[in-house]
Amino acid sequence: MALFLYRLGQMTFRHRRLAVGLWFLILVGASLAAATLKGPTSTSFSIPGTEAQQAIDTLQARFPAADATGASARVVFAAPAGGSLADPATASKVGDVLAALRATPKVAFVSDPFKSGTVSPDGRVALAQVTYSVSDTELTDADRQALLAAAAAGRASGLTVEIGGDALQAIPEQTASEAVGIAIAAVVLLITFGSFIAAGLPLLTALVGIGTGVGLITAATGFVSLSATTSILAVMIGLAVSIDYALFILSRFRSELADDADLDPLEAIGRAVGTAGSAVFFAGLTVVIALTGLSLVGIPLLTEMGVAAAVTVAVAVLVALTLLPALIGFAGLRVLGRRIERRVKSSGEPPRRTVWLRWPTFISRRPLLVLVGAVTLLVVIALPALDLRLGLPDDGVAGPSTTQRKAYDLLAAGFGPGFNGPLTVVLDASGTTNAKTAAQEVASDIGKLDDVLMVAPAVFNAAGDTAILNVIPKSAPSSAQTVGLVSAIRAAAPAIKTQTGITIGVTGQTAITIDISRKLGDALLPYLLVVVGLAFLVLTLVFRSLLVPLTATLGFLLSVLATLGAVVAVFQWGWFGGVLGVEQPSAIVSMLPLFMIGVVFGLAMDYQVFLVTRMREEHVHGLEAVRAVILGFTHGAPVVTAAATIMIGVFGGFVLGADAFIKSIGFAFAAAVFFDAFVVRMTIMPAVLVLLRERAWWLPAWLDRALPNMDVEGANLEHRVATREAALAEDPATM
């Protein structure tokens, strides 16, 4: 691998115009494909194999009028203070709003709250259900503005009118988050390299990688249905890893030139791509495997997000290995900056006692204290994860000033919190002779269950073999009581079928959320074990050791648990919510833990390989174990610090966004990088290696013979280069 990448780096360096031209054509092609093939995105969830999805399939087949694929809006009316909606003048104003809603484009049906019985007991709050003939993704901004205009007209007449539902769920937009991340990355790169040219190259390659990856994803929406957040997540991950990978290779190139005043840039780029490029290829491959492995969970949304992010990461790897060397060929020695003099260092020691030397030296003197302290810190931060609750965002987590949140609060105050999360019970009455009587029995049985506020009369389809019961819980949609009610209805299904001949299924947004959360929660531990097993196997191949992969994998687990604890504390408990813009604490988005594990796994392996391979390299070259840890740390830590800081900046920039899902993912990724890079890789790992000393690199002889030589650190390449240089010194004609 190292030798192949060595030759690839030199080839693209020599043929830099061709390489840049090809990438320009690829970028233009991806952009044109995105512009011409782009299709609508989706904000819906599907969960094949679950009861909620089976009930939806039954509705779509037998009850087209109740098909939930169309967008919907919940228009909530509230009378002026001291008044009632039943007052003739007020009721007339409500009727005007309903008439305006019926005249709105693409609206299929608008319910009348006075006829449907959706007026609160005190007569002050009412709900009108608006159903569209198209899905939410097919609604335009003009359609949403028409909906809001009808509400505004009602407000102008003195009513309180608020709107919730997916009809107002606009496609999440990419805000200034990317610009914030790029700005932070630019500052860190400039400080790290001391050169505008060197700092600009990773940013340029990142833009090419992101443009190509997102272009391909956008073009794919013309053929397959993708989530509205897919491209945003791809940008988030692609921007971070693109800069990261370019940083590693460019740093090694500068190091090669700074270490040898006579080294030709062509040789330097070959060595840089052969060594640091091997780590980039390995890290990118692990991220791709972990992200595509999310498809094993069986949730289409998680699969598409994982595959889309994996495509962006793969493009980032290709850009770093091919476009970056070509751009370095154009920049030449200007990437060194004024601060770096090309020189041959007289010794392996750093020129002065920097923090990169002081920190590992401190760890080597008190390794046990440092290890216990770091592990204790992560364990304490991880404790809130014991209270982890998974769910999906709804109008209840919207900002207090939004119309969606106001509608949610009005319904909760007027009808009770469960009115915001009605359960749809689908009755398959094809097995009974008196369907209506049987449906009344089912409604009566369900009405006797705990936490049921009311059960609406059954509504049958034209054939009379399928009906819908709307069940209103007493508790909020995300509460444990509502989860228990769904389980209780499903548990009563066999007895109901025996008694009435009716087969029931529970669906609706609340039941779908419960099923998704349960399925993802059940998949969390198996997926984590698969990723941990993969990490141990790959690190064993890389480091040819058993104890180093074991401690590195355990460290990865600690960083994951600490991240989950921090996410629960901020987004579920509300700690520091005001500082981070978390307006409403809620359950953690269901797919976040799994998606975070897949991404953090690759980044953890990235930092582990780049940092620890330098320590192993120094040890293999003859240094005593502790000295090898210290010297390897001084070489690798500055680059890992810069890379992690950039990652944190890029991910942290997305916390500034308004979308709750994107905000929580940005925070989780930033926290995970901080814990893994600074606490696990740069504190726990050096302490463990110092404590283990020579034993850290122990591997049974039989296993050493059986394992293939990955040579990620490029030792074989360096040996080959050294042999060639020795031959040239004896006889220059051998060139």
Q: How far apart are the first and last CA of the chain?
A: 23
CATH number for 139: 3.30.70.100
Q: Give tens-digit pLDDT for 121-174.
A: 899 999 998 888 877 767 888 888 889 999 999 999 989 999 988 887 654 444
Residue 342 belongs to a domain: yes
141 & 26 share domain? no
Separation CA 112–CA 126 (nearest Å)? 9
Band (51; pLDDT cuts 50, 70, 90): confident
Q: Give tens-digit pLDDT for 68-96.
A: 556 788 899 999 888 899 899 999 999 99
Residue 722 belongs to a domain: no
How buried is residue 497: exposed, middle or buried, by Cβ count under 10 Å (0-12/13-18/19+)? middle
204 & 304 share domain? yes
Band (322; pLDDT cuts 50, 70, 90): very high
Return the exposure string of 697-734: e unless at least 16 CB atoms fall within 10 Å of the residue's CB, then b: bebeeeeeeeeeebbbbbbebbeebeeeeeeeeeeeee
Band (694; pLDDT cuts 50, 70, 90): confident
Measure the CA angle with vertex 67, ends 61 and 70; round to 5°.
Answer: 140
How buried is residue 115: exposed, middle or buried, by Cβ count under 10 Å (0-12/13-18/19+)? exposed
| 707 vs 97 pLDDT, higher one | 97
Q: Where is average pLDDT lowest: 200-209, 265-274, 557-566, 591-600? A: 591-600
Given 127, 146, 168, the domain boundary residue is 168
**Cα 141 vs. chain centroid, distance in angstroms?**
27
Band (658; pLDDT cuts 50, 70, 90): low
CATH number for 496: 3.30.70.1320
HEC readout, 157-209:
CCCEEEEECHHHCCCCCCCCHHHHHHHHHHHHHHHHHCCHHHHHHHHHHHHHH
575 & 654 share domain? yes
Looking only at the bridges linking them, the beta strands covering 423-428 and 125-132 are: unpaired
Band (704; pLDDT cuts 50, 70, 90): confident
CB under 8 Å, gap of 24 or more: what pairs does 617-624 form?
617/713, 617/715, 618/348, 619/697, 620/715, 623/348
Query: Using an 8 Å Cβ cutoff, are 567 and 668 in contact?
Result: yes
326 & 209 share domain? yes
Residue 416 belongs to a domain: no
Q: Where is average pLDDT lowest: 63-67, 234-238, 456-460? A: 63-67
Given 168, 188, 217, the domain boundary residue is 168
Contacting residues for 32 by C-beta, under 8 A, at least 6 apart: none
Residue 92 belongs to a domain: yes
Contacting residues for 402 by C-beta, under 8 A, at least 6 apart: none
Separation CA 561–CA 10 (nearest Å)? 42
Over 50: is that where the pLDDT of 342 sits? Answer: no
Average pLDDT over residues 404-425: 89
Bridge partners (DSSP) of residue 460 are 467
Residue 683: which domain range? 354-387+523-713
Query: Using an 8 Å Cβ cutoff, are 350 and 356 in contact?
Result: yes
Query: Using an 8 Å Cβ cutoff, are 93 and 149 in contact?
Result: no
Over 60: is that where the pLDDT of 340 sits? Answer: no
94 & 149 share domain? yes
- Number of structural domains found in the chain: 4
**Cα 634 vs. chain centroid, distance in angstroms?**
32
Over 90: is that where the pLDDT of 235 sits? Answer: no
374 & 340 share domain? no
Neighbours of 533 (CB within 10 A): 11
Over 70: is that where the pLDDT of 187 sits? Answer: yes
Bridge partners (DSSP) of residue 107 are 132
Query: Using an 8 Å Cβ cutoff, are 205 and 242 in contact?
Result: yes
- Looking at residue 119, what DSSP letter applies? B
> Which backbone phi and psi does 163 adopt, to 5 degrees?
-130, 135
Separation CA 713–CA 608 (nearest Å)? 12
462 & 607 share domain? no
651 & 531 share domain? yes
From the DSSP assignment, how many helices (H) and strands (E) are in the chain?
26, 11
122 & 17 share domain? no
Over 90: is that where the pLDDT of 317 sits? Answer: yes
Average pLDDT over residues 330-335: 82
Do you know the residue count of the chain? 735
Residue 406 belongs to a domain: no
State the average pLDDT for the chain. 82
Given 346, 368, 398, the domain boundary residue is 346
Over 60: is that where the pLDDT of 193 sits? Answer: yes
249 & 102 share domain? no
Query: Using an 8 Å Cβ cutoff, are 55 and 507 in contact?
Result: yes
Neighbours of 264 (CB within 10 A): 10
Which token pair is 392? 């999906």
AA identity, residue 515: D
Separation CA 282–CA 285 (nearest Å)? 5
548 & 686 share domain? yes
CATH number for 262: 1.20.1640.10
Residue 126 belongs to a domain: yes
660 & 599 share domain? yes
Residue 735 belongs to a domain: no
Q: Where is average pLDDT lowest: 122-136, 221-235, 282-296, 311-325? A: 221-235
Say what the pLDDT of residue 337 is: 64
Most confident of 328-337, 399-408, 442-451: 442-451
**What SS3 state is found at 345?**
coil
Residue 52 belongs to a domain: no
